[in-house]
Structure 1
């Protein structure tokens, strides 16, 4: 297929673009006039200019949005432009936080954390148009991932692993290579109007912190974290156990990396 990837300079998007090429697809990437080249055929456009997204998305077999969230106004205007141009050819990324806390699966209704409240409406608009939604867990691997990087920086600063709030908070996680393979499967096989979960395991964030801290970890009180990070700190206290069983079964998706703590321990040991 001829696929446009939005967000191809980012951690997830770059892996998705490479995986699509590896699967035999022709990839073009959205590129701002002053943006960094990706090595793929550039298509002019800018996430902060929704009209440009609609122009860029015209004429592709699939349009994969793996770019970062920019806030309610821009994200909803952007998805409206993409839906108008691509309709059921759109594959859009949201995230696990759209489901809220507790045990959830692909059939669970969105109950988003307030920090990402608009993503439920974004998903609705994509699916109503026949598009596909991918909800990744926390992505890690290949030396990237914003959450592991933040926690690693805090571990280096304090000399011990750091997690926010109370111990025992669980998050769904996924290695970026496995996530990229899921996007390929969604592009190739997913039915219109569907939602898919990119989670390889559920892990305690304090265990992630211990792996980054060489075996020890301490709490960073939510109030202090919020003062430094803003409201997004509340996401780190969102306890989730999210299933990807249906995704694995229907798309024959089998993650190869199933232990983030083993991965982090190997990285810390290597460093």
Structure 2
């Protein structure tokens, strides 16, 4: 098979750097969207000018590629909807990255009708437009590992400031979770095998948020009152701390042949934090029986 040209929006980001490397290793010719003043695209890849904050620029940027992978940040309703419309107009096959939060609370799977959390209330419309045009959607949950993500960037700094890990409200809230290194294999499988207009859940396990708080707090936790504003470290996604989900990825695993290598977020993060000199309890380095593997 001749090499395919893929444009990765967000190629210089936390997930995008690993996605770019994964697709390059798989034989794709990788390009990255370069916004004015943004983090430079890795010189190993071709830089293509364009900006999610300037949706018309995306039409020319995405035109002519064999595949476009959208890993860009959520901006706002106007820009996100205009952006997906522009990418659809460009005419290149596309994988849109959404999130499990679009499904709402409870036990949910790939075929459930979205009931998005108000924080991302328009993202189901982004999905609908992409799917109606024959593109594909992938929904990761909490992305962790390799020094990035919500746990490292939000939960750890707050725990260091307060001397305890913080969760919001009552315990036993679960989030779907996936290690960042397990995402490129799924995107490659979807790129190669998934039918147009299909949606896939990138969830390796469902993990207790208070268990993550205990990890970063070395056993000490604080339940933040639900009626109070969340700490500033949590402000970007504060409302999601109360969103309880048990997300299934059985269909994705079965039909895409996806087998995530990391299915214990607590143990993986504990090992990573310990290697960086962060205090962790010995019991956090082992298997976490509270995780639910979907």
Q: Specify the alignment match of 2:12 in structure 1.
A: 9
- Report whether the alignment pairs 1:115 with 2:119: yes
**2:179 aligned residue (175, 180, 189):** 175
Deviation at 1:161, TM superposition (A): 1.2
Residue in structure 2 matched with residue 152 of structure 1 by the alignment: 156
Match of 1:91 in 2: 95
Alignment-derived partner of residue 34 in structure 1: 37
- What secondary structure sits across from 2:7 in the alignment? strand
CA drift of 1:211 comes to: 1.0
* Aligned mate of 1:59, from 56, 59, 64: 64
Query: Which residue in the other structure is 1:139 paired with?
Result: 143
2:259 to 236, 254, 257: 254
Unaligned runs of 5+ in 1: none
Provide the residue aligned with 2:75 in structure 1.
70
The one of 232, 235, 239 equivalent to 2:240 is: 235
Structure 1 stretches of 4+ with a deviation exceeding 4 A read: none
Structure 2 spans left out of the alignment, 5+ residues: 278-294
Q: Secondary structure at the match of 1:249?
A: helix
Relative contact order: is structure 1 or structure 2 higher (C-alpha 8 Å, sep ≥ 6)? 1
Provide the C-alpha distance between the structure 1 equivalents of 2:236 and 2:182, rounded to a whole number of angstroms.
Answer: 29
CA–CA distance in structure 2, aligned partners of residues 207 and 86 of structure 1:
44
Aligned 8 A contact 1:164 1:225 in 2: no
Structure 1 CA distance for aligned equivalents of residues 156 and 77 of structure 2: 29
Shift of residue 268, structure 1, vs aligned partner? 3.0
Q: Distance in 1 between matches of 2:87 and 2:54?
A: 12
Q: What is the aligned partner in structure 2 of residue 192 from structure 1?
A: 196
Per-residue CA deviation, residues 199-246 of structure 1 (Å, 9 max, x unaligned), is: 100000000111111122121223334474558311110000000011
Contact 2:33 2:41 in 1 (8 A): no
How many residues are paired up? 270
Query: Alignment RMSD, CA only?
Result: 1.4
2:146–2:272 contact (8 Å) kept in structure 1? no
Greater Cα shift, 105-114 or 217-226: 217-226
Distance 1:61 1:174 in 2: 27
TM-score (norm 2): 0.89
- TM-score (normalised: structure 1): 0.96
